[in-house]
Amino acid sequence: MANAAEHGGANGHAGVIGGSGRLGAARLLLWALAGVLAIRQAAAVLRVPPGEWLGEFRLPSGFPGSLYDGGQFTGTPFAGLVLKPFLGLAAPSLEVAWTCVTLLFVAAVGLVAARGLPDPVPRRTALLAAPVLVALMMVSLPVREAASPGQTAVLPVLLVLLAMFRVPGERPAGFLVGLAAALQPALLLFAPLLWFTGRRPTARAAAVTFAAATALSWAALPRDSWTYWVHHLAGTGLGGAPDGLANQSVHGALLRLGLSGPAEILLYVALAAGIGWVGLRRAARYARDGQLLLAVAVTGCVAVAVAPTGWRHQLLWVLLAVAGKVGTRAADRPVWPVAVVLAMTLPADVLLPNLAVLAPVRDNVLLLAALAAACAVPFLPRSSPYWREPVPTAYGRPAAARWSRVPLMPFWRRVLSRPNLLLELLLIRVGYSLYSHIRAAAPTSRSLAEGHGSQIHSVERALGIDIERAVNHAVVNTPWLEKFFNFYYTSFHFVVPLTILAVLYWRRPGDYRWARASLGLATVLALVGFWLYPLAPPRLMPGLGFIDTVHGPQDLAHPQYGAMTAISNQYAAMPSLHFGWSLWCGIVIITLAPKGWQKLLGALHPLTTVCAIVATANHWVLDAVGGAAVVTAGFGLVYVLSGPRGAALPTGLSVPRPREPERMAATSRTRA
């Protein structure tokens, strides 16, 4: 197993840390970003009222007393002994000191982990790994919860990393691992990892330290030790219900699935044993392969998953698992780190829709990420020919602008290969979820929105295009037409764009990227309109006589639509994305469809949509004009960034260089 010397010598990173030029500037900017995020996190924690600081724990100031009478303290009795001396500090001093020390621990974890990357490390990675990792940890769910009053989850991670990478002696390293296990007992699994990788003195020192710390807590706090180790079986049930969402362990997941009693315990023990066996074998293999940081991350994921209670703030190990490389293609390399970052930084309801069938996955996202890192993700060994040189991505040739006055951005290259499906689905889901949240958070002042509605109505009357009321009433008086437009309005808004994207992804990947980028940019521009110009649609304008055909008659003094109002901003009407997305569909189909009838259908879709949004009184005519404007801008931005769409044609592509084993095999065949 690698030690500290292997990561700090002449073959390590030390020679590249003092970079200059653009990489140095990027490094400074990233450290500044990490600092801003740390200050933001500290401000969020320090907003906790002084009376609630450590108020969720009942930590007695003297002996005897109980750590667990309050029912919220989840740490070990040894952790209680560590926390007790801090109670003598004044509340403001304790708040500031605790928060600052916790965030300093996070920064130290990032620095040590970045220096633990397996050699050889590219210069860019060596310079940017530490600030990037620290910034990601500052916004991660574990750190946001670990910085709360009294949590010590970051300290065990730092102790283990120091033992593995920075402490040269076997027994001192074992002491740190044992101390970490005394604070979080499941981390004693690092002792088998040390044993399997030949560091047996360190493993023995870790076990002895853990036993001594536990014995000390039994001697000092016998009642609390009995409560923690025996009555609650290593803390199970302390700090919340074992089946609560905060318990991201296998035991908690089984309880959430409705299992209980002896059957659940037997299944939990069997699963924990299997996960421990598979995870520790994988960790030992990665450690012998020279990927010690990955081995540490895998072991930490195993420890949290198999513990009776694995709290969210203890899952920082998952973020460290981005050190592993997955995939033989360069295009596949971002999938694992992006999936981990999204799972560790975003709420589960952002990653997955609120559907009952997805509840078991949505409720256990962090656990599933830990299990994937521990047992499933096929990390590449360093002996793989793709470790350093994955199969390169194919790019199109740069193309000149068709209009000389429109400059093209030289740094954006058009990718020709099909993007990774999992990565696309993740980004589409997260992008739409963020769009929904931002749209819902846009200004919803009724008076302002109705004032803007009056402005739009006045402009349309001046232009002679105020046809909404006439069309609306004509449709209401024609029942079959009303049903048709209601169905079209509510059904085709998402189905058609997603179908087009799916077909392009499968049949024309180069054009898929062009179409996807233009749709995304148009949607972002629409969000700006929702914020700057909240607008009441015709159906929410009092005194104008519009009829809401989709939702039925409404009391305009209280324009609420139950669940719909909770998930959608009713005044996000300008520009109309109903029409904008349909226009995008029409442009893409007309541009790419090979047959005339397909182009005709593509042209009919935005025409039918504009009739539907006007007939149902959901939009003004000028809303459709706004939708057309943002879609036009979206296509224009894609043109400026990546050139004409025809640049995606695979002309003059270079053939990827064969890997070393392939060259050797070809040479052998030639000689034979």
**DSSP conformation letters of 605-626:** HHHHHHHHHHHTTS--HHHHHH
What is the distance between the alpha carbons of residues 57 and 79, in angstroms, rounded to a whole number?
Answer: 12
Q: What is the pLDDT of residues 490-541, one digit of tens each?
A: 888 889 999 999 999 988 887 898 899 999 999 999 999 998 898 889 988 8
As a residue count, the chain comes to 672
Task: Write the CB contacts of 331 (distance below 8 Å, at least 6 apart in sequence).
Answer: 393, 415, 417, 419, 420
Helix or strand (DSSP H, E) at 298: helix 292-306
- In contact, 546 and 472? CB cutoff 8 Å: yes
What is the distance between the alpha carbons of residues 331 and 447, in angstroms, rounded to a whole number?
Answer: 49
What is the distance between the alpha carbons of residues 513 and 645, in angstroms, rounded to a whole number?
Answer: 10
**DSSP at 391:** B
How many other C-beta atoms can be found within 10 angstroms of the C-beta atom of residue 398?
A: 13
What is the distance between the alpha carbons of residues 298 and 294, in angstroms, rounded to a whole number?
Answer: 6
CA 207 to chain CA centroid, nearest Å: 36
Report helix angle 509-532 to 421-441, nearest 10.
10
- In contact, 548 and 554? CB cutoff 8 Å: yes
Dihedral angle computed from the Cα positions of residues 120, 124, 127 and 132, in that order, rounded to the nearest 10 degrees: -110
What is the distance between the alpha carbons of residues 465 and 456, in angstroms, rounded to a whole number?
Answer: 11
Q: What is the pLDDT of residues 390-401, one digit of tens each?
A: 988 877 766 665
What is the distance between the alpha carbons of residues 151 and 75, in angstroms, rounded to a whole number?
Answer: 8
What is the distance between the alpha carbons of residues 84 and 69, in angstroms, rounded to a whole number?
Answer: 15
Phi and psi torsions of 415, nearest 5°:
-85, 135
* Structure tokens given for 202: 């360190």
- Residues of the chain where predicted confidence (pLDDT) is lower than 70: 1-20, 48-65, 70-72, 86-94, 147-150, 239, 397-413, 552-568, 646-672
Helix (H, G, I), strand (E, B) or coil at 415: strand
**DSSP conformation letters of 484-536:** HHHHHHHHHHHHHHHHHHHHHHHH-HHHHHHHHHHHHHHHHHHHHHHHH----
The whole-number pLDDT of residue 405 equals 61
What is the distance between the alpha carbons of residues 283 and 373, in angstroms, rounded to a whole number?
Answer: 10
Calculate ∠ Cα 381-386-387, nearest 5°.
45
The whole-number pLDDT of residue 133 equals 93
Give strand pairing partners of 391.
Answer: 329
How many other C-beta atoms can be found within 10 angstroms of the C-beta atom of residue 670?
A: 7
The whole-number pLDDT of residue 539 equals 87
How many other C-beta atoms can be found within 10 angstroms of the C-beta atom of residue 50?
A: 13
How many other C-beta atoms can be found within 10 angstroms of the C-beta atom of residue 129?
A: 24
What is the distance between the alpha carbons of residues 170 and 176, in angstroms, rounded to a whole number?
Answer: 10
What is the distance between the alpha carbons of residues 513 and 285, in angstroms, rounded to a whole number?
Answer: 39
* Structure tokens given for 588: 């893409």
The whole-number pLDDT of residue 68 equals 76
Calculate ∠ Cα 524-420-354, nearest 5°.
60
* Structure tokens given for 211: 């036993």
What is the amino acid identity at position 169? G
595-615: burial string, b at 16+ Cβ within 10 Å, e else: eeeebebbeebbebbbbbbbb
3-class DSSP string for 580-613: HHHHHHHHHHHHHCCCHHHHHHHHHHHHHHHHHH
Phi and psi torsions of 329, nearest 5°:
-95, 145
What is the distance between the alpha carbons of residues 276 and 370, in angstroms, rounded to a whole number?
Answer: 12
What is the distance between the alpha carbons of residues 57 and 52, in angstroms, rounded to a whole number?
Answer: 10
What is the distance between the alpha carbons of residues 457 and 463, in angstroms, rounded to a whole number?
Answer: 10
**DSSP conformation letters of 193-231:** HHHHTT-HHHHHHHHHHHHHHHHHHHHH-HHHHHIIIII
Helix (H, G, I), strand (E, B) or coil at 336: helix
What is the amino acid identity at position 369? A
Burial of 550 (0-12, 13-18, 19+ CB in 10 A): middle
* Structure tokens given for 271: 């699963």
What is the distance between the alpha carbons of residues 627 and 600, in angstroms, rounded to a whole number?
Answer: 21
What is the distance between the alpha carbons of residues 236 and 222, in angstroms, rounded to a whole number?
Answer: 18
User: Rounded to whole angstroms, what are the CA distances from 448 to 6, 525, 536, 560?
Assistant: 65, 21, 9, 17
Cut 0.85: pTM above it = no
- In contact, 519 and 632? CB cutoff 8 Å: no
- In contact, 621 and 574? CB cutoff 8 Å: no
Helix (H, G, I), strand (E, B) or coil at 329: strand
Report helix angle 621-642 to 509-532, nearest 10.
130
What is the distance between the alpha carbons of residues 192 and 351, in angstroms, rounded to a whole number?
Answer: 35
